[in-house]
Amino acid sequence: MSPRDTLTVEIPSRWVGPLRISGNAIDDEVEVPLATYESPLWPSVGRGARVSRMIEGGIRATLLDARMARSSLFVAPDAAGAFAADQVLHEREEELREAVAGTSRFARLIDVHTEVVGNLLFVRYALTTGDASGHNMVTHAAEALQALILSWDLGLEYGSISGNYCTDKKPSAVNGDLGRGRRVVADILIPHDVLEKTLRTDAKRMVDLVVRKNLVGGTIAGSLRSANAHYANMLLAIYLATGQDAANIVEGSQGITYAEEREEGLYFSCSLPHLIVGTVGNGKHLAHVDEALERLGCRAEREPGANANRLAAIIAATVLCGELSLLAAQTNQGELMRAHRSMERGRGSAAQRPAGTPGEEAQS
C-alpha cells in the first residue's frame, strides 16, 4: 500500500449556534458542529438557532426511548417447527437475557420480537447499550444468542446473523413500530412576531406548507413512515462532525414534522423515532471527534446512556432548526434561490452576511 493510499478526506465544518435547548436530557445553550460540502446549511441552521434563543426554554427535546436492535434468521423445516421454537424462545427468555449480559458490561436484553414467514423464523433482539450506538454490541450479542439457541436442538438451522428485520441503514417501518436508536421529539412554540421578523413567514403559511408538502407530498412520494423536508441534511453534517456512523442517516431521514397554528404562535415539532447515536465506540477516538463531543458537553461523568441521550437531544434540536428555516423560506416564492445565490456568491463568508439572510440550502 503506497502512502497515497492512506489519507484523510477533509470535510468543511463549522460550529453554528448556540441553540437554546431544554428537556429531559439537556437544559443548556450549545453550539453544534456541522461538517458538510453544502455550506448553505450553516446559515440555515443558524437562523433556527437564533429563533431558539429568542424563546424561553428554547427548543424542548423530549427523549422517549433508547435501544439498539439486531435480528437473526433461523430456518425451520416448516411453520409449525418455527412456531414451536418461537415459543421456547419466549419461555427461556431469561437465559437469553443472561447470555446477552455476558457479552458486555453495558448490553441488556429488553425485548425479543419474533416473526414467522413460512418456515423462516426472524428473531429481533433489542438491547440497551449505554452510550454506544450499539451496532457492534448488538451483533456480538446476536452471535451469542444464535449459538445458544442453535444449541437447544429445536430443529432450527442457521440462516443469517442478520435477517434485515433489524433494520440497519435501510428505510423501514419496523424501526418506527418497535424502536431502534433514540426516540426523540423536538418542539417549540414560536410567537407570531418572531415568525414574522426572523423567519419572514406566519403560522398559517407554515402549517399549510407542512401539511401540503411534507404530509401530502410525502404521501404521494411514498415516503414510508416519514414526512419531512430535509432531516437527512442536518443529520449527515452533525453525524460526520461527531464521529457517528453516518450511513445511519438513512433511518434518521424518516421522521415527521408536525405543526399547529395557535393563538400564541406556531407550534412546530420534529419527531425522530429512530435516531442512531453514540458518544463512545467506532470513530469516537479521533481527535476532532473527541473535541467535538467534549465541547457539546457529551463527555461528562453521567450514568450510562446519559451522554448519548444528551447528544440525541442536541441532534434533534439541530434538525428542528434546519427544518424550520428551510420550510419558512419555502413559504415565500423565490426566497430559497435568492438566498442560495447570495450564499454562492459569498461562499466561505456566510457568517459575515447580515442577520436575516437565511442562505437556505437549495435541496429538498
Q: Which of 18, 27, 128, 160 is close enough to bind a copy of itself by CB under 8 A?
A: 160
Site for a copy of itself in 69-128 (CB under 8 A): 71, 73, 75, 78-80, 82-83, 86, 115-120, 122
Rounded to a whole number of angstroms, the minimum distance from the CB of residue 298 to a copy of itself is 16
Site for a copy of itself in 290-329 (CB under 8 A): none
Site for a copy of itself in 215-244 (CB under 8 A): 215-233, 235-236, 240-241, 243-244
Read off the C-alpha cell for 306.
446519559
Measured from the CB atom, the residue of 44 and 244 that comes closer to a copy of itself is 244
Annotated catalytic residue within 169, 192, 288, 335: 169
190 binds a copy of itself (CB under 8 A): no
The stretch among 94-102, 192-200, 210-218, 306-314 that binds a copy of itself (CB under 8 A) is: 210-218
Q: Which of 104, 254, 279, 325 is close enough to bind a copy of itself by CB under 8 A?
A: 254
272 binds a copy of itself (CB under 8 A): no
Q: Which CB contacts under 8 angstroms, 24+ apart, belong to 213-218? A: 213/327, 213/330, 214/256, 214/257, 214/327
Does the active-site annotation cover 169? yes
Judge contact between 359 and 350, C-beta under 8 A.
Answer: yes
Residues in contact with a copy of itself, counted by CB under 8 A, come to a total of 132
7 binds a copy of itself (CB under 8 A): yes
Does the active-site annotation cover 340? yes
Nearby residues of 299 by Cβ (< 8 Å), 6 or more positions away: 279, 290, 293, 307
CA-to-CA distance for 310 and 34, rounded, in angstroms?
17
CB-CB neighbours of 33 under 10 Å: 22
Closest CA to 75 of 112, 117, 125: 117
Site for a copy of itself in 21-40 (CB under 8 A): 23-24, 31, 33, 35, 37-38
Site for a copy of itself in 137-156 (CB under 8 A): 139-140, 143, 146-147, 150
Does the active-site annotation cover 202? no
Nearby residues of 286 by Cβ (< 8 Å), 6 or more positions away: 243
Measured from the CB atom, the residue of 162 and 357 that comes closer to a copy of itself is 162
> DSSP character for 275?
E
CB-CB neighbours of 157 under 10 Å: 11
CB-CB neighbours of 343 under 10 Å: 26
Does the active-site annotation cover 38? yes
The stretch among 104-112, 167-175, 195-203, 299-307 that binds a copy of itself (CB under 8 A) is: 167-175
Read off the C-alpha cell for 288.
476532532
Annotated catalytic residue within 245, 261, 290, 335: 245
For 312-334, give one letter per residue: b (16+ CB within 10 A) or e.
bbbbbbbbbbbbbbbbbbbbeee
Read off the C-alpha cell for 282.
467506532
Closest CA to 46 of 269, 318, 294, 293: 318
Residues that are catalytic = 38, 169, 245, 340
